Amino acid sequence: MNAEEKIDFENAPATAAAAPSSESDTRAMPDNWFDDMPRRAYIPAVDLIDSDSEVLLIADVPGVPEGGVDLSIEKNILTLTATPSDGVIAGKKLEYSEYGVGEYRRSFSLSEEVDKDRISATLKDGVLRVRLPKTAPVTKKISVATA
């Protein structure tokens, strides 16, 4: 068992968010089928900080300007997509390269305790912080009748 499973906040399989669902999609392969295929994307480095009240997800997305982040939730899968500026220096040639520039994408499966309506995010200096508040645990008292 890995650490994520312990807190019910694990990586979803890479294709979970992008792959067409096989059970409902029985049509013939459309001409633009490949347009829907997941494109090459960079996996951002992520820290997860877990507390009683929330999970804080911090992702490095260097080069992504304000408005360049998209967070979507489908069922229990949170998908983070972020588009950086192209990083090209006009008029110059890329002579030596240690990093590539392209879309960042990563999916996470959320635990039941995350309140999906109260998720909030901020982006600053190429770092994305997503706050995932937890719902207060509901205690239900069950009375036991005596026979």
Q: Can you give the binding site for other proteins, defined by CB under 8 A?
A: 2-4, 6-7, 9, 11, 13-14, 42-43, 45-51, 55-56, 58, 60-65, 84-85, 87, 89, 91-100, 124-127
Minimum CB separation from other proteins for residue 30, in Å?
Answer: 26
Q: Which is nearer to other proteins, 104 or 119 (CB)?
A: 104
Other Cβ atoms closer than 10 A to 78: 23
Q: Which is nearer to other proteins, 11 or 76 (CB)?
A: 11
Q: Which is nearer to other proteins, 31 or 98 (CB)?
A: 98
Minimum CB separation from other proteins for residue 81, in Å?
Answer: 16
Query: In this structure, what token pair is assigned to residue 30?
Result: 């459309």
Closest to 17 in 3D by CA, of 114, 105, 119: 105
Q: Which is nearer to other proteins, 47 or 74 (CB)?
A: 47
Minimum CB separation from other proteins for residue 29, in Å?
Answer: 24
Minimum CB separation from other proteins for residue 28, in Å?
Answer: 29
CA dihedral 46, 52, 54, 60 (to 10 degrees): -20
Q: Are 108 and 128 in contact (CB under 8 A)?
A: no
Query: In this structure, what token pair is assigned to residue 24?
Result: 């409902």
Q: Compute the distance between CA of residue 126 and CA of residue 124 in angstroms, rounded to an integer.
A: 5
Sort strands 46-50 and 10-11 into parallel, antiparallel or unpaired. unpaired
